[in-house]
Structure 1
């Protein structure tokens, strides 16, 4: 097994446990973390002994609080586009396309790319302290990992508009009510609850699980690919605007942004 610095990857009893291990920066994703997630997912998909995957974040504060804005802001527009496509194609699309159940064990903030990761996983269990949202609008950006397409499929058009346009966060109970997660439990019961679900899935036919996942995902694929492609282009355009540069600068300086509208 490859060695990893940005994630922890453990395989035991037919389960692949993938933990984003960047707690000091709320488990935000940089290029290296995305590469390691992609590598672990590929390995788990190919390993016939692995029946179920679980993705979580290290610590008690964050599942994944989005992309590492400090790294992202210094990338060129072309590299920003490559970053976004890499996350979507090598991580999210692999989760969606693999014939094994993938569970999000949401232990804290799931923002931006982290919220998209939660929605992409087949099942999601959240701790009561978890918070969800697509706050990209606060730095004059839009969701770039599928949020504009996944949110309305989970919560409906009006609520998706509200969350993406305001950048407001919702708590775990509201996320459960809206269908972003399956269940909410106290933090100290989170892993126990996930293990119960894992064992239930392991007792089912792998063939049946593969087929039902593919069939249900097929029901949601109408216009999804074209929508994702449009989102990538729109995200790239946003990330080259003066407002985006001001939004990121204001975020890092912890002040209110002054929008120019260009």
Structure 2
């Protein structure tokens, strides 16, 4: 769902029964939100969040994407979302992930692509892809190594467990924690941005994202997609997903 209010474009993933997991429809809607923010001078900040209080985003919807069995099929999906997150990463306006609940796997990649991450107190976050015998596949690792200290970023990826928003703030992944009234607190936090001229916001963002528009970074970003696609068709990944789905459906 896309809303615009007081200079903020709110993009809400509205799949609470699937823990706001990403499918192809969500990808298409996110592209629409990015297009709006890019083209509308009255849209000064993009905020991405999830519906409800349980989940920000549970990553890719395994019930949908587990049907992709070959590296070619997986690559097409990974490339589509990877391109969207690269576009989000280099968007010429400020972006915020408002983490209202669990952010798991690709949900953390989505949050990493944003400039700022605000989280509900006690929310849990985790790059858990390694537990499914794959890597981040939407550019998440490339972005994380750019935005965090090397050792902390690598530990998050290899540990592959969830941590609290408070711990994520301590290591520099989360920037603000709100106990309640997330949307209101977020809007209040962003007023100092939305009262600035759009041209100023664009100028600072263009200065910031120039380092991610280089050919060297693009190669690293999209090489990650190739590696994940290769691992996707492995027997280890298939067994791990089957085991995960069986436990969740008990």
Both proteins in one fold, TM over 0.5: yes
- Structure 1 range deviating more: 133-142 or 147-156: 147-156
Contact kept? 2:58, 2:105, Cα under 8 Å: yes
1:139-187 CA distance string (max 9 Å, x none): 111101112212222332222222222211111111112221211120x
- Please give the alpha-carbon distance, in whole angstroms, between the structure 1 residues aligned to 2:95 and 2:150: 26
Confirm or deny: 8 A CA contact 2:41 2:198 kept in the other structure.
no
Work out whether 1:201 is the aligned partner of 2:186. Answer: no
Structure 2 CA distance for partners of 1:131 and 1:224, relative to 1, 3 Å: farther
Structure 1 residue 36 corresponds to structure 2 residue 29: yes
* Superposition deviation, residue 67 in structure 1: 0.4
Measure, in 2, the Cα distance between the counterparts of 1:37 and 1:224. 23
- Residue of structure 1 in register with 2:182 after alignment: 190
- In structure 2, stretches of 5+ residues that fail to align are none
Task: After TM superposition, give the deviation of residue 38 of structure 1 in Å.
Answer: 1.0
Instruction: Say how many residue pairs are matched.
Output: 246
- If the length of structure 2 is used for normalisation, what is the TM-score? 0.92
Pick the aligned partner of 2:104 from 111, 114, 123. 111
Please, which runs of 5 or more residues in structure 1 have no aligned partner? 1-7, 256-262
1:142 has 2:135 as partner = yes
Asked if the contact 1:154–1:178 (Cα under 8 Å) also holds between the matched residues in 2, the reply is no
Pick the aligned partner of 1:97 from 85, 90, 95. 90
1:211-250 aligned within 5 A: 211-219=203-211, 223-250=216-243
Instruction: Name the counterpart of 2:152.
Output: 159
Pair 1:52 & 2:45 matched: yes
What aligned pairs does 1:72-87 form with structure 2 within 5 A after superposition?
72-77=65-70, 78-87=72-81
Cα contact 1:96–1:121 (8 A) shared by 2:
yes
Alignment check: 8 A CA contact 2:152 2:171 kept: no
Q: Quote the offset at 1:232 in angstroms.
A: 0.9
Equivalent residue of 1:18, what SS? strand
**2-side partners of 1:220 and 1:40: how far apart?**
21
SS of 1:254's equivalent in the other structure is: helix
Q: CA deviation at 1:94?
A: 2.1
Secondary structure at the residue paired with 1:100?
A: coil
Give the corresponding residue for 1:258.
none
TM-score for the superposition, normalised by structure 1: 0.88
